[in-house]
Structure 1
């Protein structure tokens, strides 16, 4: 399964290599925008994209980005709860 993480393009870092800086929940990383690049790369600045393994795979709207980020936060909270349950069960089994 592939997971795309929403990020906002904040600047074009190397137009020749189709590279841009994306902000993903406050963390900035360089991504390749070849899959979403149009005639004018600068049009991507401010756009929300789905990022997978360093590539911007699709342009999405702000609402979709917000919903996806919220779902991912929920999954993280669910994962933490499952880990706590597993730790509790392990502690009980060791008694």
Structure 2
């Protein structure tokens, strides 16, 4: 998992975005992922690029290098640090979308 931004603490959870287009809500004591939020384009292309353990698939470049690069660039990567205000998480993705996500995890 590639993380480029800074994590924050929100409601006793460690929250950070990842290159794979997901926001992770992690218990800082146990390291367990409590929940995730996934960008729309990441949902559409995720299984073509990542395995079920969030690891980059080894066969991504086997078929068509340019098509694979287009999928990666369109993934909706979360490269910046999220911010929170009044139990809402704000962040942008690499496709130019801005998100406001309510944190409902307690």
Whose helix proportion is higher, 1 or 2? Answer: 1
**TM-score over 0.5 for the pair:** no
TM-score, length of structure 2 as denominator length? 0.26
> TM-score of the superposition, structure 1-length normalised?
0.28
Q: Which protein is richer in strand relative to its size? A: 1
